[in-house]
């Protein structure tokens, strides 16, 4: 079954850290860029980060640069998002998504259900 399942969310205090995981199955994980996208309550979608299939190429949005780090373990078919120095404005549902090809620019074609992260001030 082709799917993405996120885990690791929860409630954390401002300034704290969380590590999100995304477990992939049903497709050749290493062949795809992967991305994290979030949605604050009542707001639109916001791109956070992506990583190449090999893990060599990464990029993060300015809003989280220096605080969030994306990584992956192809042997475990898992994607990660390390979030440090969390702020109230990071409160959102975080989705992992598969990029449609081995390049970063064709967009996502498969989404996880998302995991809630709540940062209390």
Partner 1 sequence: FILTQPHSVSGSPGKTVTISCTGSSGNIATNYVQWYQQRPGSAPTTVVFGDYQRPSGVPDRFSGSIDRASNSASLTISGLKTEDEADYYCQSADGSTWVFGGGTKLTVL
Stretch that binds partner 1, among 12-20, 69-77, 84-92, 101-109 (CB under 8 A): 101-109
Phi and psi angles of residue 36, each rounded to the nearest 5 degrees, phi first? -115, 135
Among 13, 41, 42, 44, binds partner 1 (CB under 8 A): 44
Q: How many residues of this chain interact with partner 1, rule: CB under 8 A?
A: 24
For 42: left if phi > 0, alpha if psi spans -120 to 50, otherwise beta; the answer is: left
* Residues 63-92 contacting partner 1, CB under 8 A: none
User: Quick one: which of 92, 95, 117, 119 contacts partner 1 (CB under 8 A)?
Assistant: 95
Contacts of 3 (CB under 8 A, 6+ apart): 24, 25, 26, 110, 112
Question: Which of 50, 68, 39 is closest to 105 using CA atoms?
Answer: 50
- Quick one: 12 or 110, whose CB is closer to partner 1? 110
CA distance 100 to 37: 15
Which of 11, 40, 88, 106 is the binder for partner 1 (CB under 8 A)?
106
What is the binding site for partner 1 (CB under 8 A)? 35, 37, 44-47, 50, 59, 61-62, 95, 100-101, 104-114
């Amino acid at each position: 079954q082709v799917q993405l399942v996120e885990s690791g969310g929860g409630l954390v205090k401002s300034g704290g850290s969380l590590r999100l995981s995304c477990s992939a199955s049903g497709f050749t994980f290493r062949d795809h860029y992967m991305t994290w996208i979030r949605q604050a309550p009542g707001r639109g979608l916001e791109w956070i980060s992506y990583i190449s299939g090999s893990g060599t190429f990464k990029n993060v949005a300015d809003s989280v640069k220096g605080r969030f780090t994306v990584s992956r373990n192809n042997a475990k078919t898992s994607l990660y998002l390390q979030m440090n120095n969390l702020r109230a404005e990071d409160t959102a549902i975080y989705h992992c998504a598969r990029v449609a090809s081995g390049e970063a620019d064709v967009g996502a074609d498969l989404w996880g259900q998302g995991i809630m992260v709540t940062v209390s001030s």
